[in-house]
Chain A
Amino acid sequence: MAWSKPPLFALCLLPLALLAWDATRGSLGPDPVAQLEHRSGDWALRLLLATLAVTPLRRLTGVAKLVRYRRMLGLFAFFYVCAHLAIYLLIDLGGYWTQLFDEIAKKPYITAGFAAWLLLIPLAATSTQRMMKRLGRRWQQLHRLVYAVPLLGVLHYAWMVKSGNVIAHRAPLYYGASFAALMLWRVPWARLRGGLRTLRAGTAAATRCPTPAARR
């Protein structure tokens, strides 16, 4: 299994390498900055969803060792979110970078995107083996934050698209649907059903023995 990590590492770097290659060759079309933004953002979302897909995939295939890739995928997702933000800040806004603060305050899609980046920082910072050990149970609680990140990412994308444009809304819709599927898989249906049964039994019992107040 260890041998497969370097190839995955290289694979995750490939989108960035291709983007850099296209940028230096001037083959990003008439609006290269928008291309850089869209492609880095797309890969950030894809890698976030890939990270969330590891656990379901592990359960479905029974290959428990897949969990070894999760941290790398998650860190690469963070890496692409950082690249996306850096492109927006340094290349797109450039000399007008202070506009960022105004945008965070006023524009919901920027607020959502920026919040996603902020949420990822503590997760990336505590991704080491040592931090896992140090935080113990709290590590898992902290890392549940990751579920909010793709949601914010999808909102960031959907709110940016011109309204009325049904076709352009498809991409964020697909990402949103994938995210929803990954989350629905995580709902502990069996436990919920069990809980519901207990609840029903409880209500039934309650009707059978009315409260003293009702009796009066």
Chain B
Amino acid sequence: MLIRRPPDIRSSEITAESVYRRRRAVLKALALSPLALAGCGRGAESQAGQAANAGAPLEVARRGAYVVGDPPTDYDAATHYNNYYEFGTAKDDPAKNSGRFRPQPWSVEIAGEAEVTGRFALEDLLRPHPLEERVYRMRCVEAWSMVIPWVGFPLGDLLKRFRPTSKAKYVAFTTVARPDEMPGLAYPVLDWPYREGLRIDEAMHPLTILTVGLFGRTLPNQNGAPLRLVVPWKYGFKGIKSIVRIAFTERQPVTAWNRAAPDEYGFYANVNPAVDHPRWSQATERRITGAGFGLFGNRIATLPFNGYAEQVASLYAGMDLRRYY
């Protein structure tokens, strides 16, 4: 496998020392993560799996720029109520079954319509990007939602480094598929590997982020370690996890859920209370706050574009959102 060096560094990419130091902290946190120990016997695995849930602390350069009025979902709920079918289809399966998964070392292949392509080590991809915390609403297509403080950086900042050409109309993402570490891959629930995609303007939008952590700590395996996408105005399944490939394409890429049930899961999948899922209403959602919270009063109205209409509605001006759901 050819490991290519990142593109020549432009002056705009030269990292300030303060950021560089933070990068060291990120790498140290990743390296010290007990995940690195996974895979040494059953006991060690489950221990590592449990310890991995704790996540290693990350140094965050900026906080408070993106906040949500509602209180965040608690850490335990956000890390033990997950849809990550590669680890099983029950909500608690990913936390239970992801102990064997090794998010390190990691590399991502950049392909398609860009001047710079190749395979890059995760550290090299992350290097120039200061990490920031953004608290986003997360709305699942299943009509539940959470509020999660992500740690990451704008996807667009990363994509620009590869200098996409004028042919790059879409960005396609692929999740890793390791049958030995991901027991859910044994079942043909989806056409593996998991794939997702965005239109290039959606990918470049400042709200769209790549994340390496949540709650100030590295992503646990069940949340998509080591690198996942977060697009807060779209249904959660668009937020592809454990990304190994990013490709710039001219045509709209095939996406996993759209392929499995095209009448239920559109390519756009923008949160839209006015367009129901064929089998359930999307008008309201059940906010998951976490243990210790009451049973009552968790249902809230779903907002157009998940509350981010002001920032993103213009991307879809003139489009029939009933047709392009």
> In terms of DSSP, what is the predominant structure of the interface of chain B?
loop
> How far apart are the CA atoms of A26 and B77 in the complex, in Å?
13
Q: Are A30 and B76 in contact (CB under 8 A)?
A: yes
User: Which chain B residues in 143-195 approach chain A with CB under 8 Å?
Assistant: 144, 187-190
Instruction: Point out the residue from A92, A163, A167 that lies within 8 Å of B260, measured CB to CB.
Output: A163
B311 at the interface (CB under 8 A from A): no
CB contact between B264 and one of A36, A92, A163 (< 8 Å): that residue? A163
| Residue A29 lies at the interface, judged by CB distance under 8 Å to chain B | yes
Q: Max chain B CB contacts within 10 Å: which of A34, A95, A99, A162?
A: A162
Residues in chain A near residue B91, CB distance under 8 A: 29-31
* Contact, CB under 8 Å: B295 / A23: yes
Residues of A7-57 whose CB lies within 8 A of B: 23, 26-27, 29-34, 36
| Number of chain B interface residues as a range | 35 or more
Contact between A102 and B281, CB atoms less than 8 A apart: yes
Most buried by A among B92, B187, B288: B288
CB-contact partner of B292 in A26, A91, A165, under 8 A? A26
Contacts of A36 in B (CB 8 A): 295
Q: Tell me whether B80 and A91 are in contact (CB under 8 A).
A: no
Task: Find chain B residues with CB under 8 A from A31 CB.
Answer: 77, 81, 91, 144, 286, 288
B276 proximity list for chain A (CB < 8 A) = 106-107
CA distance A164 to B257 in the complex (A): 9
Q: Which residue of B lies closest to A161 (CB)?
A: B279
Whether B189 contacts A166 by the Cβ 8 Å rule is: yes
* A127-154 contacts to B (CB < 8 Å): none
Known A-B contacts A30-B91, A163-B261, A167-B187; the reply to A99 vs B283 at CB < 8 A is yes
| Closest CB pairs A-B (n = 9) | A30-B77, A164-B260, A30-B81, A163-B261, A167-B89, A96-B284, A94-B299, A26-B291, A96-B299
